[in-house]
Amino acid sequence: MNSNKQKAIKTAYLSIFGNALLALIKGVTGVFGNSYALIADAIESTTDVFSSLLVLFGLKYATKPPDENHPYGHGRAEPLVTFAVVGFLVISATIIAYESIQHIRTPHQVPEKYTLIVLGAVVVLKELFYRVVSKKGKETKSTSLKADAWHHRSDAITSLMAFIGISIAIYMGKGYEAADDWAALLASGIIVYNAYLIFRPALGEIMDEHVYDDLVSQIRDIAITVDGVIDTEKCHVRKSGLSYHVDLHLIVNGGITVVQGHAIAHRLKNELILQLPEISDVLIHVEPGR
């Protein structure tokens, strides 16, 4: 688990550095290149910096060990941070949509051609960031890292829309000056949709939604290999940060002593945590078999 924590935190630092650098490049290019779509892109990257900082804070707090006031740990901080990241996405989409509409209604210059080079590079870099952060999010099972990955993907989409819009404005000529603004407006809708995709699993985590069938199957398979275990009944899994808590009903021989049943339960718990290190705790209820 410590390895997952370090991996997740390093990935969050990568996101912060990447977003800050790209926000600066896009903002400067957008201002001097007469492209509001690129400026809108820079606005989103700036909000991404703050959201990535939130992700970093959430990861550090969520991986703190349990204490007297938090016996189940601090893992629920992570989906709460994800909600904040979603808020940043919605806010940035709203700002982009509002400013795009204002620019559509106001005559302005056609963007400079070199803005396309910058945007092309940004699309490639942001998609690479998405793939790296998404992979680390899956490896560490971090909800907030997955949300941060979608932030990179939404930025790539915004940049792609801007690229298309600016291309139309430049090559179609007079009458198409606002094409990049329309592209930014369309991108804002895509960002809101991505925000929903991020929000839904985080809400499920807070509500202890059951979406861990694969993990339950692994737990049951391991259980029947432990000496003294006849079978398993109920198995409930809930996620807390980067780890999982398991409630398991275990069936043992009804004729054994309480001490023997207790020993079997402990052997099973140790085996589960050994083979599935993402599990931080297992509460086992022993049921007598026939």
CATH code, domain carrying 270: 3.30.70.1350
* DSSP bridge pairs for 287: 251
d(CA 11, CA 207): 27
Say whether both 80 and 175 belong to one domain.
yes
Q: In this structure, are 81 and 190 located in the same domain?
A: yes
Statement to judge: residues 193 and 264 lie in one domain? no
pLDDT of the residue at 93? 83
The answer on 225 and 130 residing in a single domain is no
pLDDT for the residue 181 = 78
The residue among 169, 188, 206 that closes a domain is: 206
* 268 and 139 in a common domain: no
Residues 223 and 125 in one domain: no
Q: Give the C-alpha distances (Å, rounded to integers) separating 180 from 28, 168, 269.
A: 17, 8, 58
pLDDT of residue 290: 67
pLDDT by residue, tens only, the chain of 290 residues: 556 767 778 888 888 888 888 888 888 888 888 776 677 777 767 777 877 787 777 777 777 777 788 877 777 777 887 888 788 778 878 887 887 888 777 766 777 788 888 888 888 988 888 888 888 887 777 777 777 787 788 778 778 877 888 888 788 877 777 777 787 788 788 878 878 877 888 888 788 877 888 899 999 999 999 999 999 999 999 888 777 889 999 999 988 999 999 999 999 999 999 998 888 889 999 999 76
Domain termination residue (choose one: 157, 173, 206) = 206
Considering its fold, how many domains does the chain have in total?
2
Task: Name the one residue in this structure whose structure tokens are 């991505």.
Answer: 194
Same domain, 99 and 172: yes
Predicted pLDDT of residue 224 = 92
- Asked whether residue 172 falls in the same domain as residue 268, the answer is no
Same domain, 176 and 102: yes
- CATH number, position 77: 1.20.1510.10
Q: 63 and 7 in one domain?
A: yes
* 224, 200: one domain: no
State the burial class of residue 190 (Cβ atoms within 10 Å of its Cβ: 0-12, 13-18, 19+). Answer: middle
Range of the domain at 82: 2-206
